[in-house]
Protein backbone atom coordinates (compact mmCIF):
# COMPACT_ATOMS: atom_id res chain seq x y z
CA UNK A 1 0.00 0.00 0.00
CA UNK A 2 2.82 2.40 0.84
CA UNK A 3 4.50 1.77 -2.52
CA UNK A 4 1.35 2.66 -4.43
CA UNK A 5 0.85 5.83 -2.44
CA UNK A 6 4.37 7.10 -3.08
CA UNK A 7 4.08 6.40 -6.82
CA UNK A 8 1.17 8.85 -7.08
CA UNK A 9 3.43 11.84 -6.41
CA UNK A 10 3.62 14.22 -9.36
CA UNK A 11 6.83 13.50 -11.32
CA UNK A 12 7.83 17.15 -11.60
CA UNK A 13 7.03 18.02 -7.98
CA UNK A 14 10.23 18.30 -5.94
CA UNK A 15 10.74 15.59 -3.36
CA UNK A 16 11.12 16.79 0.21
CA UNK A 17 13.32 15.50 2.98
CA UNK A 18 10.90 14.27 5.68
CA UNK A 19 13.32 15.24 8.48
CA UNK A 20 13.83 18.87 7.42
CA UNK A 21 10.86 19.55 5.15
CA UNK A 22 13.20 21.08 2.57
CA UNK A 23 13.57 20.04 -1.04
CA UNK A 24 15.70 16.92 -1.38
CA UNK A 25 18.73 16.94 -3.67
CA UNK A 26 17.82 15.07 -6.87
CA UNK A 27 19.60 11.80 -7.55
CA UNK A 28 22.14 12.09 -10.34
CA UNK A 29 20.78 10.58 -13.54
CA UNK A 30 22.79 8.06 -15.52
CA UNK A 31 25.19 9.44 -18.12
CA UNK A 32 22.95 8.97 -21.15
CA UNK A 33 19.91 10.51 -19.47
CA UNK A 34 21.97 13.46 -18.17
CA UNK A 35 23.49 14.07 -21.60
CA UNK A 36 20.10 13.92 -23.33
CA UNK A 37 18.59 16.35 -20.81
CA UNK A 38 21.59 18.67 -21.18
CA UNK A 39 21.27 18.66 -24.98
CA UNK A 40 17.56 19.50 -24.71
CA UNK A 41 18.31 22.37 -22.32
CA UNK A 42 20.97 23.77 -24.65
CA UNK A 43 18.55 23.67 -27.59
CA UNK A 44 15.89 25.48 -25.53
CA UNK A 45 18.33 28.13 -24.36
CA UNK A 46 19.69 28.66 -27.88
CA UNK A 47 16.18 29.37 -29.18
CA UNK A 48 16.06 32.34 -26.82
CA UNK A 49 12.30 32.10 -26.25
CA UNK A 50 12.43 31.63 -22.47
CA UNK A 51 12.08 34.27 -19.79
CA UNK A 52 15.20 35.38 -17.96
CA UNK A 53 14.11 33.51 -14.83
CA UNK A 54 13.43 30.30 -16.74
CA UNK A 55 16.71 30.65 -18.64
CA UNK A 56 18.69 31.05 -15.43
CA UNK A 57 16.99 28.03 -13.87
CA UNK A 58 17.71 25.93 -16.98
CA UNK A 59 21.31 27.18 -17.11
CA UNK A 60 21.82 26.15 -13.48
CA UNK A 61 20.38 22.71 -14.22
CA UNK A 62 22.65 22.46 -17.25
CA UNK A 63 25.72 23.15 -15.11
CA UNK A 64 24.64 20.38 -12.70
CA UNK A 65 24.15 17.96 -15.60
CA UNK A 66 27.49 18.87 -17.18
CA UNK A 67 29.27 18.22 -13.88
CA UNK A 68 27.46 14.90 -13.53
CA UNK A 69 28.56 13.89 -17.03
CA UNK A 70 32.16 14.92 -16.31
CA UNK A 71 32.20 12.81 -13.15
CA UNK A 72 30.78 9.82 -15.01
CA UNK A 73 33.42 10.15 -17.72
CA UNK A 74 36.23 10.44 -15.16
CA UNK A 75 34.93 7.31 -13.44
CA UNK A 76 34.83 5.42 -16.72
CA UNK A 77 38.36 6.57 -17.53
CA UNK A 78 39.61 5.27 -14.18
CA UNK A 79 37.94 1.90 -14.77
CA UNK A 80 39.59 1.62 -18.19
CA UNK A 81 42.93 2.48 -16.60
CA UNK A 82 42.56 -0.18 -13.95
CA UNK A 83 41.04 -3.00 -15.99
CA UNK A 84 43.33 -3.50 -18.94
CA UNK A 85 43.79 -7.22 -19.52
CA UNK A 86 46.93 -8.70 -21.02
CA UNK A 87 47.58 -12.46 -21.26
CA UNK A 88 44.73 -13.22 -18.87
CA UNK A 89 46.13 -10.93 -16.17
CA UNK A 90 44.71 -7.59 -15.20
CA UNK A 91 47.27 -4.82 -14.91
CA UNK A 92 47.24 -1.07 -14.46
CA UNK A 93 47.84 0.82 -17.65
CA UNK A 94 47.67 4.48 -18.44
CA UNK A 95 44.71 5.85 -20.34
CA UNK A 96 45.37 8.07 -23.33
CA UNK A 97 42.22 9.47 -24.90
CA UNK A 98 42.01 9.75 -28.68
CA UNK A 99 42.23 13.35 -29.85
Domain count, the chain: 1
Q: Is 6 exposed, middle or buried (0-12, 13-18, 19+ CB in 10 A)?
A: exposed
Residue 39: give the domain boundaries.
29-84
The CATH number of whichever domain residue 61 belongs to comes to: 1.10.287.1040
Cα separation, 53 vs 84, in Å, equals 47
Query: CA-CA distance, 10 to 44, in Å (whole number)?
Result: 23
- 13 touches 6 (CB < 8 A): no
**97: in domain:** no
3-state DSSP assignment of residue 22 = coil
Residue 13 falls within a domain, yes or no? no
In a domain, 47, yes or no: yes
pTM: 0.56
In a domain, 24, yes or no: no
pLDDT digits (tens, 9 = 90+) for 40-82: 999 999 999 999 999 999 999 999 999 999 999 998 888 877 7
Q: Name the E strands within the chain.
A: 84-86, 89-91
- 80, part of any domain: yes
Is residue 99 domain-resident?
no
Most confident of 3-7, 26-30, 72-76: 72-76
Is 40 part of a structural domain of the chain? yes
Q: Is residue 45 part of a domain?
A: yes
Q: How far apart are CA 31 and CA 28, in angstroms?
A: 9
Amino acid sequence: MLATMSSKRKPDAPATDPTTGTAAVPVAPDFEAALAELEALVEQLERGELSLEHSLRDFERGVQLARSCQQALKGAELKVQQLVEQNGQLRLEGFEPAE
